[in-house]
Amino acid sequence: MDAVHGLDYLIDYYAFLGVPRDADGETIRRAYYEKQKQYHPDRYEGLAPEMKQSAMEKSRLAAEAYRKLSDPAARQAYDALLAVWDGPLSESGMPIIDISRPRFRPETLFEEEGRDAAAEAESSARQFSGHDESMFSVIENLYRSSPQPTPEIAEAYRQALAKKELYLVLKEGLTWRRAGLENQPVDEKAGEDYAATVEKRLEEARQKVKAGAERTLQLCASGEIKLLGDGGEAHARAIKDDPTAALALYQAKADERFDAAAEDIRRAAQARTEIAAKRLEAVGGVYDPPQTEIFPRLAVRVQAGDKTVWMAFHLSGTANVGPDESVGAEELAKLDDPGAAQAWIAGGANIIRLIMQEGLELKDQLERAVLKHFERLA
């Protein structure tokens, strides 16, 4: 559907007429007549058809604004909607649609969801992410069956995890659409409490769907939304004949679709939490240059964009890992030179290059890579 007034945007009738929101009836009446003079057809004779058409539309909007604001009951209802409206406001009457704003999909009430709607979302998510579940299982088994996976296997596993996470992000987004909401935000990162976050969003979304269904049916009953396509006339007739029964019928349909989609969203959220934990577990650094002996002192090279940062760590006692403050930043920066790097290793220390992964916090990745190194020493 195109942008719908009352769902995607709201016309600010006060701003269109040029009056304050507390204007009295006489002020509104005078503003209306001024607008009708401004857009009277006689003033546009001989001008381009587009300008005449625009003037006619402005005249129609002025009449609509006056009708809403001069009727006490209609104005009260409009003011109540205006007070809670959090979407785009049109002061000129032109349709506005914010493509990034979560919105209820009116089509949810009327279109028949095919049996394979969930399968289509699954297929699209796999296609765009490149994730293949059988290949993922093979790579994960290779990684987990080896006490010390090779760098190649470890990197293949990290890439497979990233693809699966992207697949789950896409699937979650497509499933929100099935639930009746367009542009529902999906977090790029899923932490330990992601499932709880999604559960809260589902409760909020259920209320949005309920409110969206009620508003859509009100607009259909008033004729502001025209139902086109197969079955459109029958839907419109049912709504006008008995709005209360229609609301119950279409709301039940929307609820049923929402509940089915919500279960898939919960499963995707739980899977994303598990994948995030696996991705963090698989974080590691590469000994660069190659090193076989493990020491209790470590230098880590972190590449963040074009910026390189060096950090030093050491193991004191048997389990206390912390920053090695005895090594200055200038000394660490010299490790970019191969000769200095070899001298550092010969002096009883290691160097690793942290392999950054998108979608994970740098601090968490660094901590995991450092602990992995000292676990090998233990």
Q: Is the pLDDT of residue 198 over 60?
A: yes
The secondary structure of 109-175 as a DSSP string is HHSPPPTTHHHHHHHHHHHHHT--HHHHHHHHHHHHH-SS--HHHHHHHHHHHHHHHHHHHHHHHHH
Strand partners, 302: 309, 354
Q: What is the pLDDT of residue 253?
A: 86
Q: What does the pLDDT average to over 297-316?
A: 88
Q: Is the pLDDT of residue 230 over 90?
A: no
* DSSP label of 353: E
| Whole-number Cα distances in Å, 309 to 131, 152, 275, 283, 302 | 33, 25, 28, 18, 5
Q: Under a CB-based contact definition with an 8 Å cutoff, are residues 354 and 285 in contact?
A: yes
Neighbours of 203 (CB within 10 A): 9
Phi-psi label, residue 18: left if phi above 0, alpha if psi -120 to 50, beta otherwise = left
CA distance 328 to 310: 10
Rg (CA), the chain: 31
Q: What is the pLDDT of residue 28?
A: 96
Instruction: Tell me the whole-structure pTM to 2 decimals.
Output: 0.73
How far, rounded to the nearest angstrom, does the alpha carbon of residue 94 sit from its chain's CA centroid? 27
Q: Under a CB-based contact definition with an 8 Å cutoff, are residues 53 and 109 in contact?
A: no
Q: For residues 201 and 188, which has the higher predicted lDDT (pLDDT)?
A: 201
Least confident range of 57-71, 246-260, 334-348: 246-260
Q: Under a CB-based contact definition with an 8 Å cutoff, are residues 66 and 28 in contact?
A: yes
User: What fold does the segment set 10-97 form as a domain?
Assistant: Helix Hairpins (1.10.287)
Q: What is the pLDDT of residue 218?
A: 81
Q: Under a CB-based contact definition with an 8 Å cutoff, are residues 41 and 55 in contact?
A: yes
Q: What is the pLDDT of residue 251?
A: 86
Contacts of 101 (CB under 8 A, 6+ apart): 87, 88, 183
Each residue's pLDDT tens digit, 76-116: 989 998 998 888 999 998 988 887 788 888 878 887 765 57
Q: Is the pLDDT of residue 140 over 60?
A: yes
Summary mean pLDDT of the chain = 88
Single-letter amino acid code for the residue at 165: E
Cis peptide, bond prior to residue 20, ω within 30 of zero:
no
The secondary structure of 242-301 as a DSSP string is -HHHHHHHHHHHHHHHHHHHHHHHHHHHHHHHHHHHHHHHT--EEESS---S--SEEEEE
Q: Where are the domains of the chain?
A: 10-97, 117-281, 285-377
For β-strands 307-316 and 297-304, DSSP reports them as antiparallel
CA distance 181 to 196: 19
